[in-house]
Amino acid sequence: ASKGLEKGALLRLSEVIRDEMPQGRACHVVSLSGPNHAEEVGREIPSASVVAYSDKDVAEAVQDLFMTPAFRVYTNPDQTGVEMGGALKNIIALAAGISDGLGFGDNTKAALMTRGIVEIARLGVAMGARPMTFGGLSGTGDLIATCTSKHSRNAWAGAQIGAGKPLKEVLGSTKMVVEGVFTTSAARELALARGVQMPITSIVYEILFEGLDPMK
Q: What is the DSSP secondary structure assignment for residue 27, as one 8-state letter?
A: S
- Helical segments of the chain, H only: 13-20, 38-41, 56-66, 79-101, 106-126, 142-148, 153-162, 167-172, 179-194, 199-209
Closest alpha carbon to 91 in 215, 216, 205: 205
Of 3, 7, 56, 89, the catalytic one is 89
Beta carbons of 174 and 152 less than 8 angstroms apart = no
- The answer to whether 89 is a known catalytic residue is yes
Amino acid identity, position 53: Y
Amino acid identity, position 212: L
Q: Which residues are catalytic?
A: 89
